[in-house]
Copies of this chain bind each other. A is one copy, B any other.
Amino acid sequence: MTSDKDELGGIALWRRIADAIRLDIIGGKLTNGDRLPTEAILSERFSANRHTVRRALAVLADEGVVAAEQGRGTFVRSARRLSYPIGKRTRFSEGLAGQAGTLGTQLLGHRIENANATIAKALKLKTGDKVVRIDGVSSADGRPLSRATTWLPYRRFPDFAERITQLQRFTAVFASYDIADYARASTRISARHADVEETKLLGLAPGAILLVSEAVDIDATGEPVSYALSRFPAERLELVV
């Protein structure tokens, strides 16, 4: 069992071992197909008992980062992280084209809300003004890549929720409002641990790190059309500017 002395800053030793191995893979010290050091060597390197090392390896195996092969050892099975471009005209599907097979967005729900200060400022509304809120999860080849919440001015898009339910794609809904083109005005990027709901919806191990982007899109006249809060699992993709 994990004991108190294994804990550093609230991060259990097995998690730190998993992190260190992930870093070696991301940093290129270990690449796809490489055999990991033996449990004995990892135990010594991290001053950990075998049980703790096994727990770290089991987590990495669950994530698909490594795979144990009977009698041969544990091997790196790193699907290279996807690169998600952040540009003036980035669309989810175009941005990941060529990096994944099937791309799709699942709508989780929608509702009318009153804008808080952050949303109001982003959309040039007053705090308390009505906004349409759309929740969804986007996936590539069945693996969740983004949990996004998007807010739009209700006054301009009163039936956005109905249209997105029917048309599925934001681009198509904006086109249905005669907005043929819209562009990214600004993106803020931060990072934090996933909360319980995000962990579940994105299929992550608890304690996973999210890249969080807050983005405002504007129409051709410069008017804000949407404010989106997107959360990406850092272990699955990186953002490219």
Which A residues fall within an 8 A CB radius of B?
Answer: 1-2, 4, 7-12, 14-16, 18-20, 22-23, 26, 28, 59, 81, 83, 86, 116-118, 186-193, 195, 199, 205-211, 234, 238-241
Chain A residues touching B, majority SS? mixed
A190 nearest CB neighbor, chain B only: B238
- Candidates B26, B28, B83, B192; contact of A192 at CB < 8 Å: B26
- Candidates B2, B189, B241; contact of A4 at CB < 8 Å: B2
Say yes or no: B23 contacts A195, CB within 8 Å. yes
A81 cross-chain contacts in B, Cβ below 8 A? 190
A211 nearest CB neighbor, chain B only: B191
A19 cross-chain contacts in B, Cβ below 8 A? 192-193
A-B CB proximity, top 5 nearest:
A9-B206, A10-B15, A191-B191, A10-B12, A191-B234
- A14 vs B8: C-alpha distance when bound (angstroms): 12
Say yes or no: B190 contacts A211, CB within 8 Å. yes
A19 nearest CB neighbor, chain B only: B193
A186 cross-chain contacts in B, Cβ below 8 A? 240-241
A195 cross-chain contacts in B, Cβ below 8 A? 20, 23
- Candidates B187, B189, B205; contact of A9 at CB < 8 Å: B205
| Chain B proximity of A82: nearest CB distance (Å) | 11
Say yes or no: A10 contacts B14, CB within 8 Å. yes
| Chain B proximity of A205: nearest CB distance (Å) | 5
A238 cross-chain contacts in B, Cβ below 8 A? 188-190
Say yes or no: A9 contacts B207, CB within 8 Å. yes
